[in-house]
Amino acid sequence: RGRKTTLARVIYDNIRSQFQDACFLHEVRDRSAKQGLERLQEILLSKILDVKNLRINDSFEGDNMLKQRLRYKKVLLVLDDVDHIEQLDALAGEHEWFGDGSRIIITTKDKHLLVKYETEKIYRMTTLNKYESLRLFKQHAFKKNHPTKEFEDLSAQVIKHTGGLPLALKVLGSFLYGRGLDEWLSEVERLKQIPQNEILKKLEPSFTGLNNIEQKIFLDIACF
């Protein structure tokens, strides 16, 4: 779950300014079990509406409040670590609850939840082997060009430090495309200092450095 949460947080931080209001609800599975869905509905509405002491008596009342208060707002909502459809029903029941242009990002271990919720796009957190990693990285770093020996060697070092994560390979490849040898060397040195389990969070500056078109490759997703 850690990598999914990190990925969702990186995306959230980079696109939240494009929305009227935003909310990142972390650990939905644990918090719904301990605090109840009504409490999560209260937190969601409180954050988006910027109000305090909001009280919801039952989830049905919460459903109606979410629908009435958010249907004209362009909202970014992240639901992290969801494990039951009831959680989605209570926190993002129908697409019509939210205004035009709203985006909901869901992280979960259960793909079937995303299918039931009729998620538009699904991104699976998989890892690639060395050959697959190199091929994907080169597609983004060199397009149709053939790298020189120096860049081949540096590419191999990038692959070594990304742990086969497709998103990391795409972000780094797009970020390094068209850059000079010194910038490549600097980025490789930076990667060497990053533990693999923190790679996505540390790549946030590279993600931010991409132009808007390139960023769209990574946005509007749900992941499992």
Nearest to 123 by CA among 86, 163, 87, 168: 168
Question: Contact, 77 vs 103, CB < 8 A?
Answer: yes
pLDDT value, residue 194: 80
pLDDT value, residue 206: 61
- Whether the per-residue pLDDT at 210 is higher than 60: the answer is no
pLDDT, tens digit, 9 for 90 and up, residues 157-181 = 999 888 888 878 888 898 899 999 9
Q: Which domains does the chain have, with CATH numbers?
A: 2-120 (3.40.50.300), 130-215 (no CATH)
pLDDT value, residue 214: 46
pLDDT, tens digit, 9 for 90 and up, residues 53-68 = 888 888 888 888 898 9
Of residues 77 and 13, more confidently modeled: 77
Question: Contact, 166 vs 148, CB < 8 A?
Answer: no
Residue 116: pLDDT band (50, 70, 90) is: confident
For residue 116, what are the contacts with CB-CB under 8 A and spacing of at least 6? 85, 88
Question: Contact, 106 vs 117, CB < 8 A?
Answer: yes
Question: Contact, 136 vs 165, CB < 8 A?
Answer: no
Name the amino acid, one letter, at 163. G
Question: Contact, 78 vs 8, CB < 8 A?
Answer: yes
Residue 80: pLDDT band (50, 70, 90) is: very high
* Euclidean distance between CA atoms 111 and 38, whole angstroms: 25
* Euclidean distance between CA atoms 40 and 35, whole angstroms: 8
What's the DSSP call for residue 222? Answer: E
**Candidate from 144-148, 182-186, 215-219 with smallest mean pLDDT:** 215-219
**Average pLDDT, stretch 121-143?**
86
**Average pLDDT, stretch 75-103?**
92
Q: Which sign does the torsion angle of CA 135, 138, 143, 147 carry?
A: negative
Residue 121: pLDDT band (50, 70, 90) is: confident
pLDDT value, residue 218: 47
pTM of the predicted protein model = 0.67
- Which strands make up the sheet holding 122-123, listed edge to edge? 21-25, 75-82, 103-108, 222-223, 122-123
pLDDT value, residue 200: 66
Report the Cα–Cα distance between both ends of the chain, in Å, rounded.
9
pLDDT cut 90: percent of the chain above it: 39
- Whether the per-residue pLDDT at 187 is higher than 80: the answer is yes
* Euclidean distance between CA atoms 201 and 3, whole angstroms: 9
Question: Contact, 161 vs 199, CB < 8 A?
Answer: yes
Residue 125 corresponds to which tokens in the numbers above? 């957190």
